[in-house]
């Protein structure tokens, strides 16, 4: 079974600076998808960014980008120009090709210091 | 339009009681998912519906847990004889089509969850 590990329970960053959240995963599959979700205090999960394993190019969405290292099974999230609204729990998730369920990591709580 | 709606928002129940959690997905969304989030943990998959059928219920932790979906819309997650370890946030999500968690064009929409506390 696939597993997702986020080794940083908590992270903090100064407003306007850059922070990187780590995620590693374990799989024997070659085709899959990876995601970062944000969960603010409202509890609603919001998709931040996604990556298809077959794509070598790292995904980017505005201030959010990923460093996808397939061989190392690593999928880190970089947040540039951090804003107070970025404060939330961040979850890394994995989905097998053809599967429906997402496998989540334990989450990283991100605090933005003004 | 309205998002995924879950009710109640919070539920406190006594150990041994049955509870029902409700999820109203976005209209037209054929796929519906239930996840459980225990304190300080990530989300744990429970069950997936495509229409009214549940092709994958592999995440239901015990036979005390069941779920149904009617009319391809509302879903109810029932926990019988609740135990303290059932305390968690139960999140529902829906998407226009299966596998849409991978698509920005048809993303997975989550509700705000039901926080269940078993005393």
Cβ separation B91–A45 shorter than 8 A: yes
**Cβ-based contacts of B113 with chain A (< 8 Å):** 43-44
What integer pLDDT is reported at residue B40 of this predicted model? 76
Neighbours of A22 (CB within 10 A): 17
Look up tokens 């847990």; give the residue: B65
Show which residues on chain A lie within 8 Å of chain B, measured between beta carbons: 4, 6, 33, 35, 42-47, 50, 52, 91, 93, 95, 98, 100-107
User: Do A23 and A77 touch, CB atoms closer than 8 A?
Assistant: yes
Q: Is B32 exposed, middle or buried (CB count within 10 Å of its CB: 0-12, 13-18, 19+)? A: buried
| pLDDT at B106 exceeding the cut of 60 | no
Which of B33, B43, B54, B58 is best to mutate for the A interface (most A CBs within 10 A)?
A: B43
pLDDT in tens, chain A (114 residues): 889 999 999 999 999 999 999 999 999 999 999 999 999 988 989 999 999 999 889 999 999 999 999 999 999 999 999 999 999 999 999 998 878 889 999 999 999 999
| φ/ψ of residue A70, rounded to 5 | -65, -45
Residue B96, chain A, CB below 8 Å: the answer is no
Coil, strand or helix at A91: strand
What integer pLDDT is reported at residue A99 of this predicted model? 82
What integer pLDDT is reported at residue B46 of this predicted model? 97
Cβ separation A102–B43 shorter than 8 A: yes
| pLDDT at B41 exceeding the cut of 90 | no
Neighbours of B20 (CB within 10 A): 13
Which B-chain residues 46-65 have CB contacts (< 8 A) with chain A?
48, 55-56, 58-59
Q: Is B39 exposed, middle or buried (CB count within 10 Å of its CB: 0-12, 13-18, 19+)? A: exposed
Q: How far apart are CA A58 and CA A54, in angstroms?
A: 11
Q: How far apart are CA B9 and CA B90, in angstroms?
A: 10
**Cβ-based contacts of A102 with chain B (< 8 Å):** 35, 43, 45, 101, 108
Side-chain-side CA neighbours of A42 within 13 Å: the count stands at 10
* Closest residue to A44, CB basis, from B42, B59, B110: B110
What integer pLDDT is reported at residue B98 of this predicted model? 63
């Amino acid at each position: 079974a696939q597993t997702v590990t986020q080794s940083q329970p908590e992270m903090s960053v100064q407003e306007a600076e850059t922070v990187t959240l780590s995620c590693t995963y374990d799989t024997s599959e070659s085709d899959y998808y990876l995601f970062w979700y944000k969960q603010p205090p409202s509890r609603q999960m919001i998709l931040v960014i996604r990556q298809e394993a077959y794509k070598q190019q790292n995904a980017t969405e505005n201030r959010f980008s990923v460093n996808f290292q397939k061989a190392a099974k690593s999928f880190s999230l970089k947040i540039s120009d951090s804003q107070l609204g970025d404060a939330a729990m961040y979850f890394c998730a994995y989905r097998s090709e053809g599967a429906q369920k997402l496998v989540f990591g334990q989450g990283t709580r991100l605090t933005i210091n003004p | 339009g309205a998002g995924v709606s879950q009710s109640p928002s919070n539920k406190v129940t006594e150990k041994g009681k049955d509870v029902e959690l409700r999820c109203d997905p976005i209209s037209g969304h054929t796929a519906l998912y239930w996840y459980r989030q225990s304190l300080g943990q990530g989300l744990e998959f429970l069950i997936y519906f495509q229409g009214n059928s549940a092709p994958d219920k592999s995440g239901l932790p015990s036979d005390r847990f069941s779920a149904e979906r009617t009319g391809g819309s509302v879903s109810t997650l029932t926990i019988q004889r609740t135990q303290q370890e059932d305390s968690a946030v139960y999140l529902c999500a829906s998407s226009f089509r299966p596998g849409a968690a991978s698509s920005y064009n048809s993303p997975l929409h989550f509700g705000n969850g039901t926080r269940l506390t078993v005393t």
